[in-house]
């Protein structure tokens, strides 16, 4: 699954706000942009003329999420957990995200596993040295992979083996989109598009009947649903050896080299399933029907 950066490049920019002009058939659209979880986040609000207070609330919520789940800041809860092997009195949002992650971990029979971070670190270290990861190194690291070896409750999140570490980049961006959408919904907004790395769309969009979202090879219309897209080589750790940023937690060298998109009511779940789908066989993807997920391959084929 995704380890550090997603397929989107990290954009170190400051938050910015703009209000789009009113077209002949479109309502005014207020737009906020800024960094979150290593990507460029964007929020669009239909029919909002003075969005300043709403933008401030968006920035505050994304800042809170970044302090929990970012791998790019030394003070985040996730970085402290990876450093210490234990996180005392975790924020309820941290427990919520781990609970969602565990449900997808079980649904994908382990294909979605946040504890693949040691695999990423090993391959990145080997690539920096200009060599391939060695079999003995892989065997050692594999003992530190396994979400079943993570316990969590209101008292603490704990790793049960030394050397373990997690990345939540395969689910946290979707979770951020869900949280911002929920925040705006609570403020009475019903026509919103949130993209914190994965897209959550509410309402009909500026022109209706939904929000147009471009995917690799196609475009879809979303209304009160989310979509997430993954690609194994979206971020390349070692291009010469074909090592991307999504890993099979079993340690097997496999993964489709095409885009997979997932539509679901939850952006977090769509995010996690799209990540897991990269290392799953096509025949197994049908199992997500019962999970309420629709799988789209790069040629826009629906499984």
Q: SS3 for 9-47, per residue?
A: CCCCCCCEEEEECCCCCCCCEEEEEEEECCEEEEEEEEC
Q: Determine if the peptide bond prior to 197 is cis (ω within 30°).
A: no
Q: What is the pLDDT of residue 3?
A: 43
> Range with the lowest mean pLDDT among 4-8, 59-63, 210-214, 242-246?
4-8
pLDDT at 22: 42
Count of Cβ atoms closer than 10 Å to residue 108 Cβ: 24
Q: Give tens-digit pLDDT for 117-162.
A: 999 899 889 888 999 889 999 899 999 999 999 999 999 999 999 9
- CA dist 195 and 156 (Å) reads 31
300: pLDDT strictly greater than 70: no
Cβ-contact 168, 97 below 8 angstroms? yes
Confidence bin at 296 (pLDDT 50/70/90): confident
Q: Per-residue pLDDT for 13 more than 80?
A: no
pLDDT at 282: 74
Mean of pLDDT values over 177-196: 96
- For residue 137, the tally of other CB atoms under 10 A from its CB is 14
H or E segment and range at residue 88: strand 86-88
Maximum pairwise Cα distance, the chain? 64
- Quickly state the pLDDT bin for 240 (edges 50, 70, 90): confident
pTM: 0.87
- Distance between CA atoms of residues 138 and 65, nearest Å: 32
Left, alpha or beta for 60 (phi > 0: left; psi -120 to 50: alpha)? alpha
- Does the pLDDT at position 21 exceed 90? no
Tokens representing 92 are 């309820």
Relative to beta strand 29-36, strand 225-230 is unpaired
**Helix residue spans in the chain (DSSP H):** 52-69, 77-84, 92-107, 117-128, 135-142, 172-186, 267-277, 282-285
pLDDT of residue 19: 39
List pLDDT tens digits, range 259-273: 889 999 999 999 999
In the prediction, which pLDDT does 85 show? Answer: 98
Lowest mean pLDDT among 8-17, 82-91, 105-114: 8-17
Residues 65-102 as b/e (b if ≥16 CB within 10 A, e otherwise) read bbebbbbeeeebbbbebbeebebeebeeebeebbebbb
- Asked whether the predicted pLDDT for residue 244 surpasses 80, the reply is no
pLDDT band at residue 25, thresholds of 50, 70 and 90?
low
**Cβ 279 vs Cβ 246: under 8 Å:** yes
Please report the pLDDT score of residue 4 as a whole number: 40
Q: What is the pLDDT of residues 155-171, one digit of tens each?
A: 999 999 999 999 999 99
DSSP states of 171-203: THHHHHHHHHHHHHHHTT--SEEEESSSEEEES
Lowest-confidence segment of 55-59, 117-121, 288-292 by average pLDDT = 288-292
Q: Is 158 left (phi over 0), alpha (psi -120 to 50) or beta?
A: beta
């Amino acid at each position: 699954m995704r380890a550090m950066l997603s397929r989107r490049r990290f954009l170190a920019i400051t938050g910015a706000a703009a209000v789009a002009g009113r077209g002949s058939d479109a309502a005014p659209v207020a737009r906020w942009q800024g960094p979150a979880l290593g990507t460029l986040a964007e929020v669009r609000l239909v029919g909002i003329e003075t969005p300043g207070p709403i933008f401030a609330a968006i920035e505050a919520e994304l800042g809170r999420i970044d302090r929990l789940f970012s791998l790019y800041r030394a003070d985040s809860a996730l970085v402290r957990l990876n450093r210490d092997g234990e996180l005392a009195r975790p924020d309820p949002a941290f427990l919520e995200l781990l609970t969602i992650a565990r449900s997808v971990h079980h649904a994908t029979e382990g294909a979605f596993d946040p504890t693949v971070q040691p695999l990423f670190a090993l391959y990145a270290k080997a690539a920096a040295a200009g060599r391939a990861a060695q079999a003995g190194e892989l065997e050692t690291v594999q003992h530190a992979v396994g979400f079943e070896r993570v316990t969590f409750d209101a008292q603490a999140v704990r790793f049960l083996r030394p050397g373990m570490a997690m990345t939540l980049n395969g689910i946290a961006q979707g979770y951020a989109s869900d949280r911002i959408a929920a925040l705006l919904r609570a403020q009475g907004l019903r026509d919103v598009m949130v993209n914190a790395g994965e897209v959550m769309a509410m309402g009909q969009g500026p022109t209706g009947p939904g929000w147009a979202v471009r995917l690799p090879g196609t475009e879809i219309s979303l209304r009160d649903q989310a979509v997430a897209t993954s690609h194994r080589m979206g971020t390349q750790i070692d291009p010469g050896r074909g090592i991307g940023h999504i890993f099979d937690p079993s340690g097997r060298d496999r993964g489709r080299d095409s885009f997979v998109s997932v539509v679901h009511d939850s952006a977090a779940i769509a995010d996690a399933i799209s990540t897991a789908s990269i290392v799953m066989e096509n025949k197994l993807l049908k199992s997500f029907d019962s999970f309420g997920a629709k799988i789209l391959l790069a040629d826009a084929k629906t499984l």
